[in-house]
Structure 1
Amino acid sequence: MKVGMGVADSKLMRGTMVLTAATFASKILGLIYIFPFTAIVGQTGIALYSYGYLPYTVLLSLATLGVPLAVSKFVSKYNALGDYRTGHRLFQSGLLFMSISGLIAFLVLFFAAPYIVPWIIENPTENGNSFEDIVFTIRMVSVALVVVPIMSIIRGYFQGFQSMGPTAVSQVIEQIVRIVFILVITFCIVNVMEGSLGVAVGFATFGAFVGAIGGLSVLLIYWFKRKKYIHEQVEQSTVDHQLPLKKMYKELIAYALPLSFVGLAIPLYQLIDLFTFNRALIGSFMNQAESEVAFAVFSNTAHKIILIPMALATALSITLVPTITKSFTTNDTALLQKQITQTYQVILFLTIPAAVGMSVLAYPAFGALYGVKDLEVGGYILRYYAPITLFFSLFAVTGAILQGMNKQKYAVIALAVGLVIKVLTNAWLLGVLGPLGGILATYLGYTASILITVWAIGKFAEFHYWLIAKRTLLISMFTLVMAAGVMIVNVGMQNLFPITSQLRAFPPLFVGVIVGAVIYLYLGYRSNLAGQVLGNRFRFLNKKRQRQQG
């Protein structure tokens, strides 16, 4: 029996690693394509793309409601009890339910498009994106809502069997198909056919549907290959709980709601900006074209750069969450506290210097990745927005820790409080400070959310923050030394290589990153802070262990 359990655990661990790697690869692909896409459509095109994509993302999350993870948890639970039939009944009814919810979401977004536009821009003029272009873009992306919810339930069902391969492969294929379609179609429309920007961006958002068809095709291939085996297991069920559908969905929603709501954090913040940014700035600070460029930078192009260190930090720390669940369940307080300490340390050690480094190198970073056409506004916004990567990372990880401790309702409360603060302050701060007002409102909302999640972890894990406070102080001191070094190098390099073209932005960025990394890692290594934080993962950093071996 123990051998069987060991094999199952090993399979689950291997599957989880494959899925984590695929999710990470998918996210990196989603970050990289924006650079050539921006080169084709410009910041005005990126603003138009965001007008369609942000309402779609939120509606998609509401239509799927964290379904893959919730279905996976539900199916896994009943399969373990020998009841394969209950999970299969959920899958069959779920396919119908998700098809209907996806269709409803598509119809809502498609027909609401003309009514959404005035919330984004009150009176679109000729010097920016037109009313017709925004409606077209929203309607083109809405079609994907018919397919994606169906994919989510098939992925969740496979994961319930501890089979992560179908989800992993379909995620990567979906992303590759979407990106290739976006880049090819926009290049052809803009550069070959000399078509309008509105048509090009509209078809780019249609890439979400084309990518979804690619992902669904992969899942259907897996399904037809495994259908016979799954049906055999269903027929051989040793137990049948005969749960009524109402009870099944009640249990499913209890799993899904907290997962989906916390995962919606960044899209919900961006949705608030979508409906306030242009309305607050056009007329008082800028004309429509200028406001749309600033919005594109804030919501998409600078935002993509900020997500890079967040992806790295959360990927390293989130692997600790399943072990946190185990420690909390078995009441192993000492191990739980050690794991939480390690999670915090990894996030702070990696993200604080990354956030400050991005802020210092904002202009060369933006110029190297997006060109110099909108460098002034791009570098300006990125300089002040870069530190938000620390806030995004901390909220994602503290929310995950609370989920591991079965206290996810506090993460939901924290997010709700943050969103209320963002709603109440966003338009006012935009009106007072211009684009920086939206950034400040995001900082205020996330600060409130993090204070609540940090407090909840302290209370329910009986976690004390003295060591974390000391480590944060040390990391901050090393980061300041690093920032001073990078600033000096950046000024010197820009005197030698003024950023007059995209190519000339690379030397200051490259040298700045190298100098910053060398200074910070040297200080971390000499103080053995790097060894204490990352020594378990990278043994060469652990000076204490080296001395013991020597």
Structure 2
Amino acid sequence: MKTVMQGAFILTIASLVAKVLSAIYRIPLQNLVGNTGFYVYQQIYPIYGIGITFALSGFPVFISKLIAEQDSEAQKVKVARQSFLILGLISLALVVFLLIGAPEIAHGMGDSGLTPIIRCVSFMFVFMPFLAVGRGYYQGVFQMVPTARSQIMEQVVRVAVIIGVAYTAAHQNWDVYKMGTWAMSGAVIAAVVSTLYFLRLFRVKIFAPIQGLSRQPLISGSYGKLTKRFFVEGGTICLFAAIIILLQLIDSFSVKNGLVAQGLSNGAAKSLKGVYDRAQPLVQLGLVIATSFSTTLLPSLTKAVQNRNQYDFKRTAQSMFHICLAISTAATVGMVTLLPQINQILFGNTEGTMAIQIYVVAVILASLIATYNSVLQSLNIFRPAIFAFTIGLVVKLALNQTAVVKYGIDGASWVTVLSLAVILGCMQVRIPAYLKGKLHLGWQFFGKLTVASLVMVVSVTLMRWGLLSLLPDLNRIGLSLVVIVIVLVGILVFATMSIELRLFTIREWLTIPYGKKLLKKLIK
């Protein structure tokens, strides 16, 4: 158990580092290539995002579950081979679809110049079976370090290529589509590097001849049943890991087209879509912060399910929701309050501030959806999540372009928030009756959280007004230092109010990383 917990901790840290890298690199990218260059990259990014979700956090989790269910080493290898074959066929279908359909996809996005970028990113799917099975196998035998290393390697290589390409493009005056194609090649190069890391596993273990392997039965009875499990269980994990990315994919097809339909020129619509895309790294960072704290309780939840301890399950699930909602609310409220300054610091101006402020509300909703899904998956309940997700996507598809035509990029942000609210509401309605009482947060908690958030907002607003009045002509570096000071004060105020109002139980404080130290200092 100690080894498993250490491995889980290493994997969590690696995932956080990878996600932070994946969010932060977009800021220098936008600064180097401008709004239109950023638009070109972000139009195709959701396709890459779906692929990386399959290979990094979706199918590996499901495959690790399959492998952990097996008793002997031969059975584990058999499962890995079966999974590789199924994923190989899925990958082949995706690559062919993207290569052949690239012109039509680009046309649907309203920009035929995106065709070579779509074809470029399609090749990363070739490596998905190697990455998903390699990571899933190691996680299934409780060796988390190889997965952690491959995650970091992949993101470092990709980010290095993208920033290098953006720098070259800016100084060599490249066409934005040439820049986009070379930037997306970073995904393929990173996938190759990660695949090379797993090559020895496939050569020595998975593809090597093993005595008695042919006599091992197919798990779940047949390839058909296993494939069904891949689509239902594995697909659910993938879908919810990629929830924001799929909403972004719908934006790729409707925001720019909607802006053109509103009356903007092609060039102005591309630039404004690039401004709208500024929200995405902020939301991604907010989700990393919010979900990283609540997922520390996942092992306790799993243990409670295994021991059939309903009291511990209820207490742990409620703690997950308390921590997730509180941290995501604090992060969202803080970002909304300081967004004019954050926008200026990160992107050089305050364009699109209102749309970004609306969009970052998604942090609260997406964090709660992820927590709900974790609880349901721990009980092997999938249908409510799939139903809710489908309804949410239909809402986004049905309303997005109309909202953009009428309200511009603010409309797209509102529809994203609405879609996530619909998903969350449907999950609450569709969960089994015996779980509804266990996952109830209570109005008392909401009241305390509202008071703590309001006090933080007032404190941050007054401090911002005071400091910016004293220092009116700050450059981006000076403004960054001021905002860092304000953020630290905001965190301190929220933490102090949380203790004064008893927002968290002592047990919940001790669960939060460094919660014990923070609790001691604040009480003193």
Which deviates the most, 485-494 or 244-253? 244-253
Q: 1:466 offset after TM fit, Å?
A: 6.4
CA offsets per residue over residues 339-369 of structure 1, 9 Å max, x none?
1110111012211121111001001111112
Is the aligned partner of 1:241 residue 2:217? yes
Q: Look up the match of 1:25.
A: 17
Counterpart CA distance in 1 for 2:230 and 2:486 is 49
- Asked if structure 1 preserves the Cα contact closer than 8 Å seen for 2:36 and 2:270, the reply is yes
Is the aligned partner of 1:475 residue 2:464? no
Q: 1:106-185 to 2 correspondence within 5 Å? A: 106-121=95-110, 131-132=112-113, 134-185=114-165
Q: 1:180 offset after TM fit, Å?
A: 0.9
Aligned-partner SS, 2:264:
coil
Q: Look up the match of 1:69.
A: 61
Q: 1:312 offset after TM fit, Å?
A: 1.6
- Asked if structure 2 preserves the Cα contact closer than 8 Å seen for 1:280 and 1:430, the reply is yes
Unmatched tracts of structure 1, length 5 or more? 1-8, 125-130
Counterpart CA distance in 1 for 2:319 and 2:243 is 24
Q: 1:194 offset after TM fit, Å?
A: 3.4
Alpha-carbon spacing, 1:545–1:294, altered in 2? closer, same or farther (3 Å): closer
Counterpart CA distance in 2 for 1:256 and 1:216 is 21
Q: Look up the match of 1:213.
A: 192
Q: Look up the match of 1:128.
A: none
- Asked if structure 2 preserves the Cα contact closer than 8 Å seen for 1:359 and 1:383, the reply is yes
Is the aligned partner of 1:435 residue 2:409? yes
Q: 1:57 offset after TM fit, Å?
A: 3.2
Give the TM-score, by structure 2 length: 0.90
Is the aligned partner of 1:282 residue 2:274? no
Which amino acid letter does the alignment assign opposite residue 101 of structure 1? I
CA offsets per residue over residues 443-499 of structure 1, 9 Å max, x none?
211112112323455723252566532112111111112112222222333334447
Counterpart CA distance in 1 for 2:473 and 2:415 is 31
Is the aligned partner of 1:258 residue 2:236? yes
Counterpart CA distance in 1 for 2:104 and 2:232 is 33
What is the aligned residue count? 519
Q: Look up the match of 1:296.
A: 274
Alpha-carbon spacing, 1:454–1:328, altered in 2? closer, same or farther (3 Å): farther
Q: 1:89 offset after TM fit, Å?
A: 2.6
* Match of residue 41, structure 1, among 33, 58, 81: 33
Is the aligned partner of 1:494 residue 2:468? yes
Counterpart CA distance in 2 for 1:546 and 1:501 is 38
Counterpart CA distance in 2 for 1:179 and 1:63 is 17
Alpha-carbon spacing, 1:541–1:526, altered in 2? closer, same or farther (3 Å): farther
CA offsets per residue over residues 498-530 of structure 1, 9 Å max, x none?
477433432442233133223222222333435
Q: 1:410 offset after TM fit, Å?
A: 1.0
* Match of residue 425, structure 1, among 399, 419, 434: 399
Q: 1:28 offset after TM fit, Å?
A: 1.1
Which deviates the most, 109-118 or 20-29? 109-118
CA offsets per residue over residues 365-384 of structure 1, 9 Å max, x none?
11112222xx222x232222
Q: 1:285 offset after TM fit, Å?
A: 5.2
Counterpart CA distance in 2 for 1:465 and 1:106 is 41
Counterpart CA distance in 1 for 2:99 and 2:222 is 34
- Asked if structure 1 preserves the Cα contact closer than 8 Å seen for 2:155 and 2:190, the reply is yes
- Asked if structure 2 preserves the Cα contact closer than 8 Å seen for 1:302 and 1:366, the reply is no
CA offsets per residue over residues 230-255 of structure 1, 9 Å max, x none?
969x5488994355444443444443
Alpha-carbon spacing, 1:445–1:497, altered in 2? closer, same or farther (3 Å): same
* Match of residue 524, structure 1, among 498, 511, 517: 498
Aligned-partner SS, 1:303:
helix
Alpha-carbon spacing, 1:381–1:497, altered in 2? closer, same or farther (3 Å): farther
* Match of residue 335, structure 1, among 312, 317, 334: 312
* Match of residue 3, structure 2, among 7, 11, 15: 11
- Asked if structure 2 preserves the Cα contact closer than 8 Å seen for 1:136 and 1:202, the reply is yes
Counterpart CA distance in 2 for 1:197 and 1:311 is 30
Q: 1:227 offset after TM fit, Å?
A: 3.5
Q: 1:398 offset after TM fit, Å?
A: 0.8
Counterpart CA distance in 2 for 1:14 and 1:238 is 35
Unmatched tracts of structure 2, length 5 or more? none
- Asked if structure 1 preserves the Cα contact closer than 8 Å seen for 2:361 and 2:417, the reply is no
Alpha-carbon spacing, 1:376–1:185, altered in 2? closer, same or farther (3 Å): closer
Is the aligned partner of 1:344 residue 2:321? yes
Is the aligned partner of 1:410 residue 2:387? no
Q: Look up the match of 2:246.
A: 268
Counterpart CA distance in 2 for 1:484 and 1:318 is 30
* Match of residue 512, structure 1, among 455, 466, 486: 486
Alpha-carbon spacing, 1:221–1:318, altered in 2? closer, same or farther (3 Å): same
Aligned-partner SS, 2:69:
helix
Alpha-carbon spacing, 1:180–1:541, altered in 2? closer, same or farther (3 Å): closer
Alpha-carbon spacing, 1:355–1:60, altered in 2? closer, same or farther (3 Å): closer
Alpha-carbon spacing, 1:544–1:380, altered in 2? closer, same or farther (3 Å): closer
- Asked if structure 1 preserves the Cα contact closer than 8 Å seen for 2:56 and 2:131, the reply is no
Q: Look up the match of 1:360.
A: 337
Which deviates the most, 249-258 or 431-440? 249-258
CA offsets per residue over residues 307-351 of structure 1, 9 Å max, x none?
212212211112323432332344322111111110111012211
Counterpart CA distance in 1 for 2:228 and 2:462 is 59
CA offsets per residue over residues 108-160 of structure 1, 9 Å max, x none?
21222211122212xx5xxxxxx33x122222222212123321122212222
Alpha-carbon spacing, 1:445–1:194, altered in 2? closer, same or farther (3 Å): closer
Aligned-partner SS, 1:210:
helix
Q: Look up the match of 1:539.
A: 516
Counterpart CA distance in 2 for 1:543 and 1:65 is 36
- Asked if structure 1 preserves the Cα contact closer than 8 Å seen for 2:456 and 2:493, the reply is yes
Alpha-carbon spacing, 1:155–1:333, altered in 2? closer, same or farther (3 Å): same
CA offsets per residue over residues 17-38 of structure 1, 9 Å max, x none?
2222211111111112112222
Alpha-carbon spacing, 1:54–1:62, altered in 2? closer, same or farther (3 Å): same
Alpha-carbon spacing, 1:515–1:94, altered in 2? closer, same or farther (3 Å): closer
RMSD between aligned residues: 2.9
Alpha-carbon spacing, 1:392–1:297, altered in 2? closer, same or farther (3 Å): farther
Which deviates the most, 363-372 or 460-469? 460-469
With a CA cutoff of 8 Å and minimum separation of 6, indicate the structure with the bigger relative contact order.
2
Alpha-carbon spacing, 1:65–1:357, altered in 2? closer, same or farther (3 Å): closer
Give the TM-score, by structure 1 length: 0.86
Q: 1:221 offset after TM fit, Å?
A: 4.1
Aligned-partner SS, 1:110:
helix
Which amino acid letter does the alignment assign opposite residue 74 of structure 2? R
Alpha-carbon spacing, 1:475–1:251, altered in 2? closer, same or farther (3 Å): closer
- Asked if structure 2 preserves the Cα contact closer than 8 Å seen for 1:102 and 1:146, the reply is yes
Q: Look up the match of 2:77.
A: 88
